[in-house]
Amino acid sequence: MKYTKEHEWLRVEGDLVVVGITEHAATQLGDVVFIELPEVETMVAEGDEVAVIESVKAASDILAPMDGEIVAVNEKLTDKPGLVNADPMAAWFFKMRVEDLSVLDDFMDEDEYQDLIG
């Protein structure tokens, strides 16, 4: 598991990277009421706005953590956005195919992320 400074978690499943938001981010957002997911087969670049998450407190963009192709989205979140609050580590947003999984080495591990959030 790797983490971004934008409070996303990244998990490798085979040749794919699964992306969600951390428990810290979900707690900060409050009750999630709407999620807009990306289109499958969309090519994205690192830093692109890929999804939108709206809560009772704010709206936030989910950014592409790296270059790649969106190959799957979690449709359950469209109908039940509150799943993010119930279990943020299970409520993934999208899966990406990236050319080189070694780019994950540039992201934080669990200890580094815990240091970030204090």
Residue 116 in domain = no
59-96 burial, b at 16+ Cβ within 10 Å, e below that, comes to ebebbbbbbbebebbbeebeeebebbbeebeebbbbbb
Q: Output the pLDDT for position 99.
A: 92
Considering only CA atoms, which of 39, 38, 36 is closest in space to residue 79? 36
Residue 71 in domain = yes
Residue 72 in domain = yes
Residue 115 in domain = no
Q: How many domains does the chain have?
A: 1
Q: Which domain holds residue 22?
A: 2-99
Residue 105 in domain = no
- Tens place of pLDDT per residue across the chain (118 aa): 999 999 999 999 999 999 999 999 999 999 999 999 999 999 999 999 999 999 999 999 999 999 999 999 999 999 999 999 999 999 999 999 999 999 999 999 999 999 999 9
Q: Output the pLDDT for position 97.
A: 97
What is the pTM for the complete model shown? 0.94
Residue 70 in domain = yes
Residue 8 in domain = yes
Residue 109 in domain = no
Domain with 16 in it: what CATH number?
2.40.50.100
